Amino acid sequence: MQKKVKIAVSELILGEALPWSIYDPEGKLLLSIGQIIVDKEKLDSLCKHDIFRMETVSNEDPNETSPFRRLDEISRSLDKTFDAIESANPSAKDQMDRLTIELDTLCLRAPNAMLAWVHLPHTFNSSLAHAIQCAILCHTLFSRQNLPVEERQSIMSAAMTSNIGMRGFYEQVQKQETPLSATQRRMIAQHPQKSAKMVHDIGVKNATWLKVILQHHELNDGSGYPSSLHKNQIVIGAKALAIAERYSMMISHHSKHDPISIGDALKVFFMEQGEKYEKALCMRFVLELTLFPPGSFVELANGDTAIVVRRNMEQPSQPVVKSLADPLGQVFEIPLERDTSDKEFEIMKLCKFAGEATLDRDEIWGYRPL
């Protein structure tokens, strides 16, 4: 949502581009963001009346520690927890429970930053990144649904541990250029059972957690594995994780294949909904991410390249964005928030940004450094 903030006279600087659009008390647009007040007469005229800018209000608190840094800590802890699971250390269950609750809490407090983490490149190995991406995407699917917290967290735990049975092998396959051998295909086909057994061996008795791991590669039409289950035989969490895994793999920066665009990835679920994937979940997935999810790059009508910072669930085509570079590719020293409801800054299409790996995410999302 947005609120009106009164603009002080001292905030208006002659000859400099406006950092926000200016409105009168009734909400009528007077000047658009980026326009320049070139003469003192115009400036004096504006200052005679109350003028306002619009400020987006979010449930994400910039005074909290950066969720991006906390995710880095969770990733490192998850790596150690995977070591504990592989050695059948019973303490791994408590570690997983703690990490799941922490990640679930982060997703509730900073949902847009979490989705941005899913879509932006990172330095962790592919198995870790994939596990956390899938957990965040599963949370996104169910956070606004009437699903008990305990069940949502069980699905997130399953998402993070569903591939533990082929952890080292996963890294190898992601880099392998040659076709899979018969042995490798067999290992992949068996990894749901192996992963479920490893999790069970550390003391997990939670039926949802274990079933989601066992069934996360089953598909509605029976073409999945390991048991060729059909639609009504597959638990809802496994259906959600199947979507999350497919999406994560398609947009992955770690895959041996070039990632496809977010738009093309979302189109897959429109085409395959109801056949391989649950139709209602596919629709919900697209609606929750929106066509311009946080962390995606877009070209604006004025030619700027911008990054999506927050979704606009009421007007999905008008998310909150910040311009990173001008039409000539010159990067702005400070990202500029743009009003995508303004014709000058409406989103034209998804695009790429060459400097995505070096972005200061804390600055863009407004979080304070540690």
The string of pLDDT tens digits covering residues 148-170 is 899 999 999 999 999 999 997 77
For residues 224 and 272, the answer to whether their CB atoms sit within 8 Å is no
Q: What is the pLDDT of residue 91?
A: 95
> Right CATH number for 67-289 from 1.10.3210.10, 1.10.357.10, 3.40.50.300, 2.40.240.10?
1.10.3210.10
Q: Nearest to residue 254, comparing CAs of 115, 133, 73, 107?
A: 133
Q: What is the pLDDT of residue 46?
A: 83
Rounded-to-integer distance, Cα 268 and Cα 112, Å? 23
Could you tell me the residue ranges of all domains in the chain? 2-56, 67-289, 297-365
Q: Read off the pTM.
A: 0.82
DSSP 240-271: HHHHHHHHHHHH-SSSSSPPPPHHHHHHHHHH
Convert the pLDDT of each residue in 59-112 to its tens digit: 455 556 799 999 999 999 999 999 999 999 999 999 999 999 999 999 999 999
Q: What is the pLDDT of residue 369?
A: 60
Q: What is the pLDDT of residue 57?
A: 46
Q: Tell me the pLDDT band of 370, cut-offs 50, 70 and 90.
A: low
Question: Phi/psi zone of residue 37: left (φ > 0), alpha (ψ -120 to 50 degrees), beta?
Answer: beta
Counting Cα atoms < 13 Å in the Cβ hemisphere of 2 gives: 19
Does residue 364 have a pLDDT over 60?
A: yes
Q: What DSSP state is assigned to residue 17?
A: B
Convert the pLDDT of each residue in 291-300 to its tens digit: 999 999 999 9
Q: What is the pLDDT of residue 1?
A: 42
The beta-strand segments (E) located in the chain are 2-6, 22-23, 29-31, 52-56, 297-300, 305-310, 320-325, 331-338, 347-351
Burial string for 168-198 (b: 16+ CB within 10 Å, else e) reads ebbeebbeeeeeeeeebeebbeebbeebbeb
Q: What is the pLDDT of residue 59?
A: 47
Higher model confidence: residue 3 or residue 288? 288
Q: What is the mean pLDDT of the chain?
A: 89
